[in-house]
Structure 1
């Protein structure tokens, strides 16, 4: 296929003429399941080459090579015939494949990918055009397949402008930086318990690829990832992403990480490394909270994921996790209990404060990267504020965060010093005792007040909620100190 760069645009232009497609989110979902089948078929060719006894889980008439390939002789399905086949044969067949716990993961992913997938197109001629464009990509050609990995990244970036689907995409500069700083080693296993489209897993794989020297190394890298994704659409994108990056047995599961009792996890459920950006802002119901010890049973999604991470990080394991400011300054009993457990049982050695617009345009909520390891309790924590680069007012879709924007952190990382900036600190080390005395408030080395920016109503409300929570937390801390000094017990109503 020539001009890979125009791939997404060509598909979008064709779909704009189809009455069944409503908006970018549906357009991208339609592309996603077609891409999965094409990529999967290319992988099956490799598996057949390596094993003459390989049997596909997909019935012959539903394999991409059987119905999608167009030999140009006018025999390929199109129009109403193609629509009828896709709607009434292909989808029902793939949704109802015979899969159980003993099924090979590389086969089981077909059913889980299609369980909740949707076919939106209503024009069979346009669908044939779409199929032909996708079939034109030669995944048997290493160079073209490798180049397509970059095109797939552009499809994932499109999610940021496709409504709420943007929550599944963490900017590649961020995932690459986190994977780099965690220093992956061949033989280790990395997990993401809310893996979205698989960005963290890809960044992990890219770090390991540089170290491959033998066939055994390559096999270890292929077996080094583990992902769970609750939502069907990003799950489908993630599985395809892993196949595109050479993972033959993608251990990616369509499941909810919060629906298992954390106390039931054993050593075999633990991982050397956890890299993730937990969903935040969500409120979980009691049936979810019941899977956690009462003191850790928060209704905030990100808090619960932090507990999952702590229970599933192997002894001596390492983690890098993105969390919103609300986790850092929160002083409610549950947040404090989670932070106390984190600092008492793990070494929270570094917190990188990121600019508010890193996830623009999806959200302006300020986020942070917490680096910790399972080597003992925290003695001290370094904080570093990463500022917006010179010449930027904020990051945006047209001016996204790039990997070089993390260069100041990289330079500071190996030679840590305190940095004074204006009236406060840009980088500073706090002891565990100092943090405990501050009621485990981790909102340190934050951003100075900036001029007001007019935001969309939903983001404005979210920002005010964050500010109110931060203010309440500060008031609670001050009141606690005053009542301690005066010897007043407010619980008695005095």
Structure 2
């Protein structure tokens, strides 16, 4: 979480871009991302040089014959020379950095444009970024760069035309930890945006399988084949590709694709789907893939994406996806149909209802997380429900840290579901049988099954209340009389 002086520094950097005439938040994030990427390339190369010297092994710097592009050299140049070097040498250098010209990085860096308007603005921006990095190194946070980047993405304060908006990082982390991906998985987010789900999955796997990733075969799978993301916003794709590379995933499969259209014909390709798909309104029926329409006859994107996840998963594949509350209890044939598909023909494990403030200030919509496995032949015998009341932050637009946080409890209980069998419906989590859900038109709203305990409140006798009112009235009259005397 970015707070205090670090937050103020990033805000100041943002204002510098605005004062320089770059007012589109996506343009600001792109330019900062390019500079962060150049800085991190230099730092990464320095570490590899030191490691090679310690191990006594050869290493060829990526800045060989391009030392002027190294951050430590660049930032000490006079303003005009720095400006010219960045524009004429550094940007062409990073555009051609990747050997694989078909990689996501190469595709989305080809049209990268240096937009900082003047040498003076560039100097101010570089100075502010160095202060941010220096301050970040003094903060006790294992992923301060991720926090900084997350805070910048939070500047995208409005959702897109399709109803997509940024998923809070701590919610993504919870979903990843509950799904427990492994190095053998193939992970997809068909509405990836800035690739937050894929990045957090990569961080989780690196932390858990650090030694295993020393194996060349596993590392190649991790870098080139494990992660796939699609989106229809090319700017988001560029940021997503760089976001993944800055988090150590060298060649992710990040591509432009309308996931719900015939353009996407992928079937049974992935073992894990993690997503928060856009769920605003409906789309043109003529663009919807016929395969999806066979599963659920609708134009609502939130229902079509669920059908897509089932199609893209291999048998045995697992999904953790965010849906609007309406998916849980909607009464249309399409709503009932997709819920029946997940429950009857596959295995639904859990429904976590989240409070409406989780996505503020971007949206106030109530949402839930569905955890299910594709089986093709059923398997749902009971479903675990959890009523999340707090995620560790205030549920208003400010989203300040608070003490109440259900996420640790969710993780602990999900890890030991056998102990949930005895939980009552009056508690925050409990099981509901498949038969009961089916009898209720496959309704997945927790309020359908939660029992509320009404406590009888003891009130004073009417005569006592009346006496209190009379006493208050007398006090008021005395005060009024005193006021009149003073006037």
TM-score higher than 0.5: yes
Alignment of 1:78-227 (within 5 A): 78=83, 85=87, 103-105=101-103, 108-113=104-109, 115=111, 121-131=116-126, 133-134=128-129, 149-164=143-158, 167-208=164-205, 209-214=207-212, 215-216=214-215, 217-223=218-224, 224-227=226-229
Q: Secondary structure at 1:8's aligned position in 2?
A: helix
Residue from 244, 247, 261 that aligns with 2:246: 244
Alignment-derived partner of residue 405 in structure 1 = 406
Give the Cα–Cα distance (whole angstroms) in 2 for the partners of residues 403 and 172 of structure 1. 17
CA shift for structure 1 position 238: 2.0
Is 1:30 the counterpart of 2:21? The answer is no
CA shift for structure 1 position 43: 6.4
CA shift for structure 1 position 113: 4.1
Alignment-derived partner of residue 8 in structure 1 = 10
Alignment of 1:471-482 (within 5 A): none
Q: TM-score, normalised by structure 1?
A: 0.71
Q: Are the structure 2 counterparts of residues 444 and 10 from structure 1 closer, same or farther at C-alpha, using a change threshold of 3 Å?
A: closer
Alignment-derived partner of residue 379 in structure 1 = 381
Q: Are the structure 2 counterparts of residues 96 and 365 from structure 1 closer, same or farther at C-alpha, using a change threshold of 3 Å?
A: same
**Contact 1:67-1:76 at 8 Å conserved across structures:** no
CA shift for structure 1 position 82: 7.7
Alignment-derived partner of residue 469 in structure 2 = none
Q: Secondary structure at 1:185's aligned position in 2?
A: coil
**Contact 2:74-2:82 at 8 Å conserved across structures:** no
**Contact 1:68-1:76 at 8 Å conserved across structures:** no
Give the Cα–Cα distance (whole angstroms) in 2 for the partners of residues 137 and 64 of structure 1. 20
Alignment-derived partner of residue 278 in structure 1 = 277
Give the Cα–Cα distance (whole angstroms) in 2 for the partners of residues 46 and 14 of structure 1. 31
Q: Are the structure 2 counterparts of residues 344 and 401 from structure 1 closer, same or farther at C-alpha, using a change threshold of 3 Å?
A: farther
CA shift for structure 1 position 174: 0.8
Segments of structure 2 that go 5 or more residues without pairing to the other structure are 453-487
Q: TM-score, normalised by structure 2?
A: 0.72
Q: Secondary structure at 1:435's aligned position in 2?
A: helix
Give the Cα–Cα distance (whole angstroms) in 2 for the partners of residues 287 and 113 of structure 1. 33
Give the Cα–Cα distance (whole angstroms) in 2 for the partners of residues 151 and 397 of structure 1. 22
Alignment of 1:358-369 (within 5 A): 358-369=358-369
Q: Secondary structure at 2:322's aligned position in 1?
A: strand
Give the Cα–Cα distance (whole angstroms) in 1 for the partners of residues 327 and 402 of structure 2. 23
> Quick check: 356-365 or 403-412, which moved more?
403-412
The Cα offsets for residues 157-183 of structure 1, whole Å up to 9 and x where unpaired, read as 333343325844211221111111112
Segments of structure 1 that go 5 or more residues without pairing to the other structure are 450-494
Give the Cα–Cα distance (whole angstroms) in 2 for the partners of residues 37 and 398 of structure 1. 32
RMSD of aligned alpha carbons = 4.3
CA shift for structure 1 position 210: 1.9
Give the Cα–Cα distance (whole angstroms) in 2 for the partners of residues 349 and 305 of structure 1. 18
Alignment-derived partner of residue 300 in structure 2 = 300
Q: Are the structure 2 counterparts of residues 73 and 363 from structure 1 closer, same or farther at C-alpha, using a change threshold of 3 Å?
A: closer
CA shift for structure 1 position 46: 8.8
CA shift for structure 1 position 354: 0.9
The Cα offsets for residues 190-242 of structure 1, whole Å up to 9 and x where unpaired, read as 21111222222232223222232241155554453222232233323322221
Q: How many residues align?
A: 425
CA shift for structure 1 position 126: 0.5
Give the Cα–Cα distance (whole angstroms) in 1 for the partners of residues 255 and 311 of structure 2. 19
**Contact 1:194-1:278 at 8 Å conserved across structures:** yes
